[in-house]
Structure 1
């Protein structure tokens, strides 16, 4: 099995997307499930690797922190950080 995850600027605004990412990354860890990220107009190093501190996901995660439990948001942040370490396709305006 293979999951293609398209990470865009609005990705972290969606609780559904974040929950699915957690499931996908758990399958990768537990079953060797293959994951191919597509970084669409986001940087795996700047935006995705440290989503709670800076980048395009910070505002959305701050909003989630006010509405959800610490554990749930921490799980989302961990999944985002984990996927940032997987080589994928970086799509920019110039790609």
Structure 2
């Protein structure tokens, strides 16, 4: 939860990362547009880092992932491929070599975290005709 316990005036990202570190379990809800937001991907990297280093539990939920296969999260196909294409568009145009490397490394971390999270046993929820 990121809304109730955030201290006013604190850096949101720092507070969220601290909350992730202190959590015993993280539930990741992957949706069609999950990878559109870089902050979701940054949180995912942190969650998977805590799983690896601190032994935290992670439960992935695949919510109406298109087409109907969670492996699209693992492989970054479909909607995720489009999102990553947008994230990567400006990397090659970056003039500053250090910034370009940092941006490329960040995208690689996102891809690796998505693959690792999608390899975990999770739940696949699909929208049906009756909702």
TM-score with structure 2 setting the length: 0.67
Match of 2:7 in 1: none
Alpha-carbon offset, residue 67 of structure 1:
3.4
Say what the alpha-carbon RMSD is for the aligned residues: 1.3
Q: Where does the alignment leave 5 or more consecutive residues of structure 1 unmatched?
A: none
Q: Relative contact order (C-alpha < 8 Å, sep 6+): which is higher?
A: 1
Q: Note if 1:77 corresponds to 2:111.
A: yes
String of CA shifts for 1:4-24, please: whole Å, max 9, x gaps: 000000100010100000000
- The alpha carbon displacement at 1:49 in A equals 1.1
Shift of the alpha carbon at 1:41?
Answer: 0.7
Query: Do structure 1's residue 60 and structure 2's residue 86 form an aligned pair?
Result: no
For residue 66 of structure 1, report the CA deviation from its aligned partner. Answer: 1.7
**Aligned equivalent of 2:120, options 66, 86, 94:** 86
1:39 to 47, 50, 62: 62
User: CA offsets, 1:37-83, max 9 Å, x none?
Assistant: 100011321x11111xx222001101101235211111100000000
Q: Which moved more, 1:60-69 or 1:16-25?
A: 60-69
Larger Rg: 2
Unaligned runs of at least 5 residues, structure 2: 1-23, 92-102
Q: Please, what TM-score do these two structures have when normalized by structure 1? A: 0.90
